[in-house]
Structure 1
């Protein structure tokens, strides 16, 4: 990965001690995991929320869908500001707003209001996506890929462990307690980041309208970005449809222990995240095409195992490890390449990639709920195989290989 230029501002990134840099990378990794978790706490808690508000499975699944839609739109309209506004300032504002939305979600008295607040929770929880470009820019020479991989590992661990925390903690203390606790954590992280991050001067000096219009230009210019984003959307959509529907499957199999079981399953799946910090280095050594193909094959195999086994819990456990491993490694590999395409537009490139990816997640969540309602677990597994298989077909048909799908000059 290319190394970024020295930052203007209060602190010279090149003068940062190795110890301080490690501490800052750790803080960014923890922040990424803690904030992104706000988007996923609801998944193991859907059955409890449905009981609380007397809502159907299909209706309550809209909480997960609207959270993903809110997150995608937050990425589209807010993340580009990372190139235009001093990043420490915007991170502080977003963490404060995120805390407020979590409090409102925990206090929601009715289901329609809860749906609207689910959207706002997702919209305000985009702080993690500001952090990988910062990590790359602050990294010492030759360590950009490692720093990005570590922060992404924290983000991905947050996605996985959010289901464990939501399921186990929420099962013990109630779903509202999960959101109260996270609201307080957002304020703690705001204070720590405000004190730790250097001032980073913007790299874009135009208007907000010009900033957003440049997204289309970047999308059309970078062929590799388009290919990686569409493949990632299908893979993440398959990942999301599994975690949205597994709680309903466990509710049928385990009755009142469904939330706790999903939380424990998420903890087991976190084994796959351990490979995330190595993914950046593997990409440099083996190339993105090989990593993307391998990750897609692992995810497709996971859904095949879950389908053939009929959803038996003992078979779901190893399948989840494969599913998480494939998704995490593929995502880190893709993002590592995306951030290299144009360092001066890293936030906007990240915006395009992540918006497309999370549109895939929202679609997967919606299709998963509908498929579960009409076709049950067999339909869910088949849809997962179809989405991951299509990602592999697109990758092959588009020739995602060294020298293929190059950018336009």
Structure 2
């Protein structure tokens, strides 16, 4: 069941990232200006943020399996619209809806936490999040390779079919889960949404972990939105296949998730967080400081991508492990708030990345990216032992 959930979250969350290495081809096909090309990714992430606030909390109110299957059908429809889009407005609207529906992955993660034993919850979450992160990381090379072979429209059509199939499989395999209604809400949607502000205000660990991941995911999204542009530029001259291979190497960073989960189970969350934030800084500092010929620069970028992906993975799992140790009846809402806040960081990073690359080049992108984990380290310095 854990591996089924891990696979499902990976396939679902990949929808947010298929467009990331295809910003150039999609912009050309739909007529988007270079300065706003980053909005191809940003709108998807903004939709994801809104879905986190308005849909994920329903995991504490409605039967989870039905909610998951319904959302998957909606995602499949949005992907089909994106596949046949010929205008920028239609594609961007579909991208927003893809983001909203793909939050179903964040209903599955706390579902897995409910099924696990408390003493191994970090490892269970780590395995499921590994699948989620593999989906994020593999989405880029898969979309690049498919685009080289069949065009970018095929990426979204294939994913629409996969989501429809996944809805069928999960309907048959997932157990029923009716949330326990307690005094934290009165069983209606309005009260459920109203409780979000109360949870944010009264849960310091939620605010702190969200701040760390806001910074880390902002850096992650900025890097992966812009690195395909520099790799395709005359500086490296890579094809979509070459960019796919580069992204594939970064998948190694997902191996950090179960390790971080195990460390969190052992009470080592603080040191794991510090390592992740420092690694995030180094992943941008290295390309800025270590510059040589084409091969040296490429090798440094490859190493930076692995380190950054590992850092983001470790920070994510450590944060979720901390939140899932709190009350089970608010787990979906805590997860929704956590993900919404840090995906806002991702939306900011992707939009800033596209703008900085268009106006200040790759060096401007790296300097901007460095500021995100550095800000996270400043917040971490205020944390008490």
Cα deviations by residue, 1:83-141 (Å, 9 ceiling, x for unpaired): 00000000010000000000000011211111111111111111110112111111246
- Cα distance in 1, alignment partners of residues 309 and 239 from structure 2: 20
- Cα distance in 1, alignment partners of residues 250 and 58 from structure 2: 34
Quick one: which of 100, 113, 125 aligns to 1:148? 125
- Cα distance, 1:255 vs. partner? 7.5
Larger displacement relative to structure 2 (205-214 or 310-319):
310-319
Alignment check: 8 A CA contact 2:120 2:265 kept: no
Alignment check: 8 A CA contact 2:280 2:307 kept: yes
Alignment check: 8 A CA contact 1:298 1:326 kept: yes
In the superposition, relative to structure 1, how do residues 276 and 289 fare at CA in structure 2: closer, same or farther (>3 Å)? same
Cα deviations by residue, 1:334-359 (Å, 9 ceiling, x for unpaired): 11111112211000000111110000
Alignment check: 8 A CA contact 1:153 1:273 kept: yes
TM-score (norm 2): 0.95
Helix, strand or coil at the partner of 1:124: helix
Quick one: which of 189, 194, 200 aligns to 1:208? 189
Question: For residue 353 of structure 1, what is the aligned residue in structure 2?
Answer: 338
Alignment check: 8 A CA contact 2:230 2:236 kept: no
- Cα distance in 1, alignment partners of residues 215 and 341 from structure 2: 9
Quick one: which of 282, 301, 325 aligns to 1:316? 301
Task: Show structure 2 runs of 5+ residues with no match.
Answer: none
Alignment check: 8 A CA contact 1:84 1:202 kept: yes
Question: For residue 210 of structure 2, what is the aligned residue in structure 1?
Answer: 229
- Cα distance in 2, alignment partners of residues 77 and 194 from structure 1: 22
- Cα distance, 1:384 vs. partner? 1.2
Question: For residue 244 of structure 1, what is the aligned residue in structure 2?
Answer: 225
Alignment check: 8 A CA contact 1:238 1:364 kept: yes
Q: After TM superposition, list the pairs within 5 Å mapping 1:30-69 onto structure 2.
A: 30-69=7-46
Q: After TM superposition, list the pairs within 5 Å mapping 1:126-137 onto structure 2.
A: 126-137=103-114
In the superposition, relative to structure 1, how do residues 374 and 254 fare at CA in structure 2: closer, same or farther (>3 Å)? closer
Q: After TM superposition, list the pairs within 5 Å mapping 1:257-296 onto structure 2.
A: 257-296=238-277
- Cα distance in 2, alignment partners of residues 269 and 253 from structure 1: 22
Matched, 1:173 2:150: yes
Question: For residue 197 of structure 1, what is the aligned residue in structure 2?
Answer: 174
TM-score (norm 1): 0.89
Cα deviations by residue, 1:145-197 (Å, 9 ceiling, x for unpaired): 22111111000110000011011122221111011111111111111111111
Question: For residue 9 of structure 1, what is the aligned residue in structure 2?
Answer: none
Quick one: which of 344, 362, 366 aligns to 1:381? 366
Alignment check: 8 A CA contact 2:123 2:265 kept: no
- Cα distance in 2, alignment partners of residues 279 and 318 from structure 1: 20
- Cα distance in 1, alignment partners of residues 85 and 353 from structure 2: 26
- Cα distance, 1:202 vs. partner? 1.9
Question: For residue 375 of structure 2, what is the aligned residue in structure 1?
Answer: 390
Question: For residue 84 of structure 1, what is the aligned residue in structure 2?
Answer: 61
Cα deviations by residue, 1:216-268 (Å, 9 ceiling, x for unpaired): 11111111110110111011001100011112111213677443233212210
- Cα distance in 1, alignment partners of residues 250 and 22 from structure 2: 18
Task: Show structure 1 runs of 5+ residues with no match.
Answer: 1-23, 403-409
Helix, strand or coil at the partner of 1:190: helix
